[in-house]
A = this chain, B = another copy of it.
């Protein structure tokens, strides 16, 4: 069975891929708004762990809407959630037998409720799988430590391809550097460099 997994190059989506690897033909898929070339970091991370990689085009309008939502809110959560839902809809239309993402049990954003999952499955005739949703933060961290070599650093300096890099760039373009600092509090991210 062919499975497309929404992929950022970070530890969570990489671990999700490893969990599914025995059961599906996994392709790592990175959503791309055409704003920056950060998707190339995800491609490199995917290659470092030996998975096929594709990118899919997302609507730049969805990114614009998300940025306006984040500026109005003063925090990124709802904008990132909206972009994740848009990316899952696009991925579900790609013709895979199953789609997946790296959302964890303890994540506050993005989240996919059971009702959203069933709606995706019914409308697109696809299985939606969130292999890490049964794992807490501690279990994920311990599995990553045992299986992957990762770099950890401040969010703005780690090469990744989640939506954040492109949303930051759009936000900077539309509202200036100070808006980026207002919306995104300082936090660390990870980037996968290969198997341990």
A121-B138, A134-B130, A136-B127 known; A146-B1 Cβ under 8 A: yes
Please, how many angstroms separate the alpha-carbon atoms of A136 and B114 in the complex?
9
> What are 6 A-B residue pairs whose CB atoms fall within 8 Å in the complex?
A1-B146, A117-B136, A118-B136, A129-B136, A131-B131, A131-B135
A23-B147, A114-B105, A146-B1 known; A134-B131 Cβ under 8 A: yes
Beyond A1-B146, A23-B146, list 10 extra A-B contacts (CB 8 Å): A19-B19, A19-B131, A105-B114, A105-B133, A106-B118, A129-B135, A129-B139, A130-B134, A131-B134, A134-B134
Is A143 among interface residues, defined by CB-CB distance under 8 A?
A: yes
Residues of B contacting A117 in the complex (Cβ-Cβ under 8 angstroms): 105, 136
Q: Which 4 A-B pairs have the closest CB atoms?
A: A130-B134, A133-B134, A127-B139, A131-B134
**What mask results when residues 83 to 99 of chain A are scored 1 for a CB within 8 Å of chain B, else 0?**
00000000000000010
Binding site for B on A (CB under 8 A): 1, 18-19, 22-23, 98, 100, 105-106, 114, 117-118, 121, 127-136, 138-139, 142-143, 146-147
Residues of B contacting A121 in the complex (Cβ-Cβ under 8 angstroms): 136, 138
Cβ-defined contact, A139 with B98, below 8 A: yes
Which one of A98, A129, A134, A135 has the greatest number of beta carbons of chain B within 10 Å? A134
Residues of B contacting A100 in the complex (Cβ-Cβ under 8 angstroms): 134
Q: Residue A1 contacts which of B98, B105, B127, B142 (CB distance < 8 angstroms)?
A: B142
